[in-house]
Amino acid sequence: MDKNKKKIIWFVGGASALLLLLLVLPKLINLAPIKQKILANVSRTVGGDVVCQQIDLSLFPRPYVKIYQGRLSIPEKITGNVRSLEVYLKIWPLFKGQFRFSHIRVEAPDFKIDFPEQLEKREDTREQIPFEVMIKETLAPISASLRTITSDPL
């Protein structure tokens, strides 16, 4: 057997072993502590309470986290539920120990946003405030805290 065939066989064998490892490894490792750490980190970062019924972690074909029956409660800001939330991660930042979102998919969101008193005071002065401005002012702190999740390793 010549050297090129041996290299190809080793490459295919190594790639197959890696693929098998990526598929089987999450089933063999106890992911409960990692899941609890994710929830604790997100709750601390957003300054509220994040709970869910189940979390699925997957590395293949793309790294993602799926949360089932999630509930978010940030006092005096926002409360709500989602049927499911999928967070897909970018692959290359994971090699640096960073978490960057590729995209997020939310199924059946149901949220209540509590607008701050500053916006209520503006109503007394009869000043018209665009809805987009009210949303931005209310959700800006939450958005800023979510950005820190993407840069902080678990």
Q: For position 57, what pLDDT does the model report?
A: 78
Question: What is the model's pLDDT at position 69?
Answer: 93
Q: Among candidates 20, 40, 11, 33, which has minimal Cα distance to 152?
A: 40
* pLDDT one digit per residue (tens) for the chain, 154 residues: 688 888 888 999 988 888 777 777 767 777 778 778 878 888 888 888 888 888 887 776 778 888 899 998 888 888 899 999 888 888 888 788 777 888 889 899 898 887 666 555 555 555 666 667 766 766 666 666 555 554 444 4
Taking CA atoms, 152 is separated from 76, 92, 109, 119, in Å, by 26, 15, 26, 32
What separation in angstroms does the CA of 32 have from each of 28, 80, 86?
Answer: 12, 24, 18
* Measured distance CA(57)–CA(22) in Å, rounded: 12
Contact between residue 122 and residue 129 where contact means Cβ atoms under 8 Å apart: yes
- Domain extent listing, the chain: 1-30, 31-151
Residue closest to 122 by CA, chosen among 141, 143, 111, 138: 138
Separation of alpha carbons 11 and 135, rounded Å: 52
